[in-house]
Amino acid sequence: MARDNGNTLQSTYLNDLRKQHTTVVIYLVSGIKQTGVIESFDQHAVLLRHGTGNQLIYKHTIASVMPAAKAMPALASPTASRPALRAEPQARPAAPVVIRKVTRRIIERE
């Protein structure tokens, strides 16, 4: 089996996104969406920076990669994506969230 040594279309695309520091949206096969900037990549994985941390994503789990501006046009220009044909309905207030704190039991062994 011949190896390409990185001259694939995939490597070129990921390298362009990395060099331009473009925010990307990565959809995983499981349906999870990850957003960040590509720090680096190799034959098997992509290192994605988001917030203050990095995340290693194996390529076999990636379904698609696209620039965030194309994935979420509503964030790029919120007024252009929504035509003002009718008023939006009033949002109902959210139901209260109850969080129950469980006390920890310490079991001492003798």
Q: pLDDT for 35-50, tens place per residue?
A: 999 999 999 999 999 9
Per-residue model confidence (pLDDT) at position 29: 92
CA distance 97 to 38: 36
Per-residue model confidence (pLDDT) at position 82: 47
CB-based contacts of 74: which residues, under 8 Å, 6+ apart? 81, 82
Neighbours of 41 (CB within 10 A): 19
**Could you say which DSSP state residue 82 is in?**
S
Asked if the 23-69 domain carries CATH number 3.40.50.720, the reply is no
Per-residue model confidence (pLDDT) at position 102: 67
Residue 23 pLDDT more than 60?
A: yes
CA distance 86 to 71: 25
Distances (CA, A) of 49 to 16, 25, 100, 107: 16, 11, 34, 41
Per-residue model confidence (pLDDT) at position 14: 94
Domain boundaries, the chain: 23-69
Residue 88 pLDDT more than 70?
A: no
Q: pLDDT for 36-87, tens place per residue?
A: 999 999 999 999 999 889 999 999 999 999 998 876 654 444 444 445 555 5
Q: Name residue, tokens 């957003």.
A: 35
